[in-house]
Amino acid sequence: MEKVRRAIAVEIESPPPELSAVEEPYRRIVEEVAACVAERGTLEREKYNELYRRFRKQYPLPAQLIQQAMNQGVEIGKSFLKLKRNGRVYKPRPEVGRVSIRFAKDSWSYRKTAASTAPVKIAVSLPGGRREIWIKPHRRLLALLVESLAQRDRACLHAGAEAAEGQVVCDIRL
């Protein structure tokens, strides 16, 4: 059985200062990785590991946020190269206009999100530790949570065991 990965964009009620402090380093990582991919055409494993180690030393961010920023930078760099090949862009480097901080399934609490009532509260890993953030729920988020809970319950009934949690990526737009 294949797993489906979905991304949901959510708005934050009142962002904590730690989240605002994450935005600029996250953006710098995305820009640097995108530029590196655009120059090289790809990002080899050795270069990825080298950049990851440097970013870990340079920025006090959780490892998962650094990995997500690097992955986002790779996506932007590949997209830029594709557009350049098709003659749709003429700039020498990709420009990162607005970043969406992506919290992978391991860096936020799916169980707390699914169990809470509206407005929705999620727990995310930030430099100061784990923080709870209130987000504005919308129809797509609530439908996905209900569907995910139903799938988990069906899987538990059929398999007789607990299904894997956290098949959702939380994409927070600042």
Residue 153 falls inside a structural domain: yes
Domain count, the chain: 1
- CB proximity list for 82: less than 8 A, separation 6 or greater: none
| DSSP helix/strand/coil, 126 | strand
Ranges in the chain, pLDDT < 70: 1-8, 104-122, 136-137, 145, 148-149, 151-174
Residue 83 falls inside a structural domain: yes
What pTM value is reported for the model?
0.67
Residue 141 falls inside a structural domain: yes
Q: In the prediction, which pLDDT does 15 show?
A: 74
Q: In the prediction, which pLDDT does 113 show?
A: 54
Residue 135 falls inside a structural domain: yes
- CB proximity list for 145: less than 8 A, separation 6 or greater: 113, 114
